[in-house]
Amino acid sequence: QGGGSAVIDMENMDDTSGSSFEDMGEMHQRMKEEEEEEAEGEAGAAEEEDGEFLGMKGLRGQLGRQVADQVSAAPCSSPLREALPAFSLYANIDILRPYFDVEPIQVRARLLESMIPVKMINFPQKIAGELYGPLMLVFTLVAILLHGMKTSDTIIREGTLMGTAIGTCFGYWLGVSSFIYFLAYLCNAQITMVQMLSLLGYGLFGHCITLFVTYNIHFHSLFYIFWLGVGGLSTLRMVAVLVSRTVGHTQRLILCGTLAALHMLFLLYLHFAYHKVVEGILDTLEGPNMPPFQRVARDIPVISSAVLNTTAKAVALTQ
C-alpha cells in the first residue's frame, strides 16, 4: 500500500467466473422463491382490493370469502327467499313467550281461585290469558292416570299406556275447548280461544285432586263426595265466568249446561271407564293376554290283539 505495490485480498474476491451445478441450483432456488413471493404479494393485493370494494377491509380468509359470496348473491331474489321471513316469524319462539311468562305465585293463586266460584256475574269476570298453568295441570293429570293404571291389576306396555293417557288428556283439553269456543261464538259470548284454554285447563285442578285421592283410597262413596264437592266447585267456577260473559238466558243455558255436563262426565269416565276402555283397546291391538302354548302328553288307547290279527290278515290277502 505505501510503496505502490498492489496487495490483493483473495478472501474478499467473489469467484463468479465458473458455472458449476451448485451455482445453477442456487439461482433456480432464488428465482423460485422470488416467484412465490410475487404470487403471494399479488394475492394479498387482490384480497385488499376486494375487501376495500366490499367495505370489509378487516376480513380475511374464509370468512371474507363467505361474506363476499353472500353479498354477491343478494341481488338474486326468488319467491322462496321472500317467503322465508314470514316462516321465520311464525317459527319464532318469542311469539309464545307472553303465554308462558308467569310467576309461580300467580299460578298458585289461580289454582286456588279455580275452586272458588265467583258471585258477581253482572260484569265480565277476568280470565288469565296464560297457558303455563293449564299445560302443567294436563301433564299432572296424565301422571295421575299412569299412577292409577299401575296401581291396578292392568298389565300393559309402557308405550301404549303413556300414549293413551296423553291422547285422552290433551284430546279432552283441546277438543272441548274448541267445541265450547265454537258454542261461545254462536251464543255471542265474549271469550277468546286462549282464554277458553286457560279456563278449562285450570278447571282440571279439581279432577286432579279427585282422581289422586280416589286412586289411592278405593271407596266409591268417597269418590262421589269428591266428585260433587271438588269437581263441582271447579265446574261452578267455569260456569260462573261464562255466565258473566254471555248475554241472554237461552245462550247461557246452552253454553254453561254443555260445559258442565262434559266436565263432570269426563271425571266419571276417568274414574270408572278409562281402565276398561284402555284394556279393550290393548286387546284389540295386541290380542288378549293368553298363556303360552304348551305341549300336553296324551294317552294312546290300547289296541286289542284281535284287531291287530284281523288287520294283518287283510293286508296279506290284498298282497
Q: Taking Cα atoms as reference points, which of 187, 184, 267 lies closest to residue 230? A: 267
Question: Mind listing the pLDDT tens digit for each residue in 239-252?
Answer: 999 999 998 899 99
| pTM, 2 dp | 0.60
The whole-angstrom distance between residue 84's C-alpha and the CA centroid of its chain comes to 23
- The whole-angstrom separation of Cα 107 and Cα 125 is 18
What is the domain partition of the chain in residue ranges? Answer: 132-286
Question: Mind listing the pLDDT tens digit for each residue in 127-141?
Answer: 888 899 999 999 999
CB atoms under 10 Å from CB of 256, counted, come to 23
274, 168 contact by CB (below 8 A): yes
Q: Taking Cα atoms as reference points, which of 156, 157, 173, 134 lies closest to residue 270? A: 173
- The whole-angstrom separation of Cα 133 and Cα 100 is 8
Provide the sign of the torsion angle of the four alpha carbons 55, 58, 61, 62, taken in this order. negative
Question: Mind listing the pLDDT tens digit for each residue in 171-219?
Answer: 999 999 999 999 999 998 999 999 999 999 999 999 999 999 988 887 8
